[in-house]
Structure 1
Amino acid sequence: MALSKDRAEILALAKDGQRIESARDVVKDPYVFEFLDLPDRNYRESELENRLIAELEKFLLELGKGFAFIGQQYRITLNNTHFFVDLVFYHRILKCFVLIDLKTQAVSHQDIGQMNMYLNYFRAEENMKDGNEPIGIVLARDKDEILVEYATGGISNQLFVSRYQLYLPDPEVLKQESRWLLEVNNG
């Protein structure tokens, strides 16, 4: 709650509960992966992915309500070239695929373009007749808001860039932020 940019929305969520009506409702920023027990730096994307799969139950809880696991390193082939989507889920409530591409560094415009290609493929080749548009999440260690804004501008796909962090901030910092948040909204 203390890390959120939209504190009023977080308070409403705490009061009313989560309603899932659109793709934006299932995407978090940031995701917190404390359960992975990874070092703060110097790990590979494959290590991050394998730890998430090994801790799939905890990862699904962090993702939120409605996610069903489909596959890891899901292969798609375009003109005899193979590409691999890191993680594929199906969202039971929204009735759509959710593709996740993991990045251990800051997101780049190439990462966003790659996810857009994956989404176009899934829409054309994998979606069921009664399914909704797929959702793509590039889940990166860091993101530059301006780069993301320009790289996603004009893209009609439901493509989101979110951050993840391996650890929550110091408990004392969270307590101070929570007190401040409660004072501002009650005062």
Structure 2
Amino acid sequence: MTKTPRAASALTDPESALFASIRTLIESARSTIARGVDLVQVHTHFEIGRHIVEFEQQGEQRAGYGDALLSLLSERLTAEFGKGFGRSNIAYCRSFYLAYRERVTIVQTVSGQSSLALGAAPFQMGQTASGQSERPFTLSWSHYVFLLGIKNAEERSFYEIESTQQQWTLRDLKRQFQSGLYERLALSRDKDGIRQLAQQGHTVSRASDLLKEPLVLEFLGLSEQARFSESDLEAAIISQIERFLLELGKGFLFEARQKRFTFDDEHFFVDLVFYNRLLHCYVLIDLKLGKLTHQDLGQMQMYVNYFDRHVKTDTEAATVGIVLCKKKHEALVEITLPQGANIHAREYQLYLPSKEELQQKLAEWADIEKK
């Protein structure tokens, strides 16, 4: 009697587990291969840029020579290798090398020819002359092309580090840049803190590190002119919770909305409850549409006190409270809250801020710091 073969979907539990593990292995391999291809492309473009710059330094210095050289190279390379070698991309290779050449040290090969290595050959990245590790290239070529448009070297370094650590897609990177993330974080830091942003990215070691202002919520799709309630704002955030977590920053986990607690037979509700795994603490957020009042701050203080006394464990850090409002009043916050309070008022806006305006604020802050 001939056996009828089982359908591929009719797997036993052990077979299903085997299939799942093999599937994961293949997906991981494909992802690794794709990432490896991306990095090879980045290093190749870096080398193309190096060859062009070194050739220019040894060649003619007449006007227009550089433009003509790039056009000639583009034409010849496209004819032989096809797409990907347009004049603009060749120009990006040159700019890429000029922007990042200090990160790489030219080493001497056995044959006596200078080269930069990627792994074994033909070039190696990430070693200084003293043998100390330098930051390697970690992003796709498309990411670096976008980063080249950021003229401030410290800001460019910050976005490169964050893109790597947070595994931002190019779309995520563009959105964070357009929302002025660097400026919004820098405005709440001293000079050493800004330098740390450029060298280490956004590190979170204390409650104040979680804060940026304003929070930019353009992805909610709510118009500044439209009439909506705090419930509408809350519902919009929940529907876009993944993007809201990205805007909040590192280490946030969503726990609950309208979290109820009761004492003296009265019910109270916290709009949004998060947990930050880096600081090991609860973060409570209350949403306010209008101008901040002292009652809002007092209410948040009560919420924080309750969580500290009845929810958090002894091993967890103090609860952080954030009142997210349309308009805050600095003097009101200062006079209402005791020094060292773990309560913070932060503004939000429903549109992308002007980069120029944020940069101007940062420049003004730097001038004040100098005095």
Compute the TM-score of the two structures, normalised by the length of structure 2. Answer: 0.45
The question of 1:140 aligning with 2:339 is answered: no
User: Which runs of structure 2 are paired with 1:76-155 in the superposition (5 Å)?
Assistant: 76-154=261-339
The residue type paired with residue 151 of structure 1 is T
What is the match of residue 65 of structure 1?
250
- Residue pair 1:119, 1:157 contacting (<8 A) in 2 also: no
What is the match of residue 81 of structure 2?
none
Structure 2 CA distance for aligned equivalents of residues 54 and 144 of structure 1: 29
What is the match of residue 54 of structure 1?
239
What is the match of residue 51 of structure 2?
none
RMSD value, Cα:
2.3
Cα 1:2–1:123, aligned 2, differ >3 Å: closer, same or farther? closer
Tell me, which stretches of 5 or more residues in structure 1 are unaligned?
Answer: none
Q: Deviations over 1:54-94 (max 9, x none)?
A: 00000000000101111000001111100100000011010
Tell me, which stretches of 5 or more residues in structure 2 are unaligned?
Answer: 1-181
What is the match of residue 30 of structure 1?
214
- Residue pair 2:257, 2:271 contacting (<8 A) in 1 also: yes
Structure 1 CA distance for aligned equivalents of residues 341 and 312 of structure 2: 14
What is the CA distance between 1:158 and its match in structure 2? 0.7
What is the match of residue 72 of structure 2?
none
Structure 2 CA distance for aligned equivalents of residues 168 and 11 of structure 1: 25
What is the CA distance between 1:2 and its match in structure 2? 4.8
User: Which structure: larger Rg?
Assistant: 2
The residue type paired with residue 43 of structure 1 is F
- Residue pair 2:285, 2:321 contacting (<8 A) in 1 also: yes
Instruction: Give the percent of matched residue pairs that are identical in Structure 1 and Structure 2.
Output: 43
What is the CA distance between 1:131 and its match in structure 2? 0.8
The 3-state SS of whatever aligns with 1:116 is helix
- Residue pair 2:290, 2:325 contacting (<8 A) in 1 also: yes
What is the match of residue 204 of structure 2?
20
Of the candidates 166, 169, 181, which is equivalent to residue 353 of structure 2? 169
What is the CA distance between 1:170 and its match in structure 2? 4.8
Cα 1:165–1:125, aligned 2, differ >3 Å: closer, same or farther? same
Cα 1:5–1:126, aligned 2, differ >3 Å: closer, same or farther? same
What is the match of residue 158 of structure 1?
342
Bigger share in helix: 2
The 3-state SS of whatever aligns with 1:29 is coil
Cα 1:177–1:133, aligned 2, differ >3 Å: closer, same or farther? closer
